[in-house]
Amino acid sequence: MFALLTDIRYGQTRALVAAICCAAVCGIVFGLSMPLISLRLEYMTGSGLVVGLNGAAAALSTLVMAPVMPRIMRLAKPRYLLSLGLACAAALFLLFPVFVSVEAWFVLRFIVGCLMTLVFVISESWINQVVSPHRRALMLGIYGTALAGGFGVGGLLFAALDPMADTAFWLGALIFLAGILPVTLLKGPQAVPPDEEGSSIKAILKAAGSAPAAILAGLAFGALETLAFSLLPVYGDRIGLEHALIGALMVAAALGGLSFQIPLGWIADKTNRRATLFWIAAFTTLSPLAMGLSSGNLALLLMLVFLQAGMASGMYSVGLSLLGERFSGGAIAPANAAFIFAYGLGSFAGPPIAGGAMDMMGPWGLLVTLAAISGSYVLIVGLRSLTRQAD
């Protein structure tokens, strides 16, 4: 057992475990803090608009931070940056109960979001650089499952704690600090930063243009995931479900995200990652429409929500693995920054588009938006594949 912590032969495994632990830690704090901050703001202001804008601040931080991440990765060793980011996030989390004002919480949430973007870009680049090519999608599926599982654990912690007490903020800070331990203690290969040329905005744009199937998968998943957790409860309410049944919809979506990423990663590794993304998108184009037709059958609706969320989750891990297939070494960092930026853009733009569609079309507005997002991906990737075959 001690050899696992010291033997050079297991260095790659230790690096992978450290990176995956970063995802789990961030997932736990996200699952704890998102409902905590939203509920406290609701009590403070009574304004749904304020709560929504505060959530948008977190998405905006991704759009601001991702383009500069390759350059930041050149400033210090990636393990040090990860530890510093988690430590600063812990310190900022302790400031929420100190500065109890709407303005302060906007600033704090934005900065914490920037630090989490740092953690995600470095840890995902790290995995893609050190993992064996034949199991890349599988390991990224494990990474995504750890993130989703952490989100669930955070939700359970929120349910167990008093939202009006400050204990949850202290616990969140401790969880961030706990994430530093595997990063510093599990010795192994470092993440490789990009070179000077690869740290520019131009390199990020070039990477995005070189791997559109992967980058667009990040964009689509950002929108699909955010819509599932933000507007699916509204959909349930508008089709007349009781509160407990709306909760069942959310549980089904969460369980789907936990259950599918590892199997889909395994399939992508054994077959073709680009084709796997195409068929995932094809399924998530049709499943929302089936949800609308089955809204009168609760059991079928829950199954379709489970399948929709589960299949959609594969777009993130398989999309990342396609990046690792296309790029290597330090070149992965700008590509991953482009992927995270696309994810943030989808998260930022998806809810207002779907919300407007629901205002015009009723509950079907959400389902049509979900289908349109995945359908657009199917068309773009399908047409590119046909073009490549013609060439």
What's the pLDDT score for residue 386? 62
Q: Quick count: other Cβ atoms within 10 Å of Cβ 292?
A: 18
pLDDT digits (tens, 9 = 90+) for 166-190: 999 999 999 999 999 999 988 888 8
CATH code: domain 7-193 is 1.20.1250.20
Domain locations in the chain? 7-193, 195-391
Separation CA 128–CA 75 (nearest Å): 20
pLDDT value of residue 314:
92
> If pLDDT is split at 50, 70 and 90, which confidence band does 208 have?
confident
Kindly report the CATH number that applies to the domain delimited by 195-391. Answer: 1.20.1250.20
Nearest to 117 by CA among 329, 350, 342: 342
Residues 330, 191: contact at Cβ < 8 Å?
no
CB 14 within 8 Å of CB 5: yes
Instruction: Please report which confidence band the pLDDT of residue 161 belongs to, taking 50, 70 and 90 as the band edges.
Output: confident
CA distance 292 to 294: 5
d(CA 73, CA 199): 8
For residues 239, 244, 248 and 254, what is the CA-based torsion angle, rounded to 10 degrees?
110
Average pLDDT estimate for 118-141: 89
pLDDT for the residue 51: 73
Please state the rounded mean pLDDT for residues 209-226: 90
- The pLDDT confidence band at residue 9, using thresholds 50, 70 and 90, is low
Lowest-confidence pick of 14-18, 210-214, 247-251: 247-251
Residue 10 Cα distances to 1, 17, 32, 187, 361, angstroms: 11, 11, 33, 9, 55
Residue of 202, 199, 195, 156 whose CA lies nearest to 175: 156
Query: C-alpha distances in angstroms, 304 versus 271, 276, 284, 372?
Result: 25, 19, 10, 17
2 pLDDT exceeds 70? no
**What is the spatial distance between Cα 116 and Cα 139, in angstroms, rounded to a whole number?**
20
DSSP string, 340-382: HHHHHHHHHHHHHHHHHHHHHHTTHHHHHHHHHHHHHHHHHHH
Output the pLDDT for position 100. 85
DSSP character for 305? H
pLDDT score for 20 = 92
Q: Is the dihedral of CA 378, 151, 113, 164 positive or negative?
A: positive
Q: Which helix (H) or strand (E) holds 52?
A: helix 48-65
Residue pointed to by tokens 């600033």: 107
Cα-Cα-Cα-Cα torsion 28, 317, 334, 131, nearest 10 degrees, comes to: 100
Q: Check if 7-193 and 195-391 are the same fold.
A: yes
pLDDT (0 to 100) of residue 390: 47
Average pLDDT over residues 233-254: 82
97 with 382: CB under 8 angstroms? Answer: no
Q: CA 112, 149, 143, 341 torsion: positive or negative?
A: negative
> Across all residues in the chain, what is the average pLDDT?
87
261-267 mean pLDDT: 93
Query: What pLDDT, in 10s, does the model give residues 77-127?
Result: 989 999 999 999 999 999 999 998 989 999 999 999 999 999 999 998 899
Instruction: Report which of residues 225 and 375 the model is more confident about.
Output: 375
CA 191 to chain centre: 20
Q: pLDDT tens digit string along 343-389?
A: 989 988 888 888 888 888 888 998 999 999 999 999 988 877 666 65
Cα–chain-centroid distance for residue 348? Answer: 13
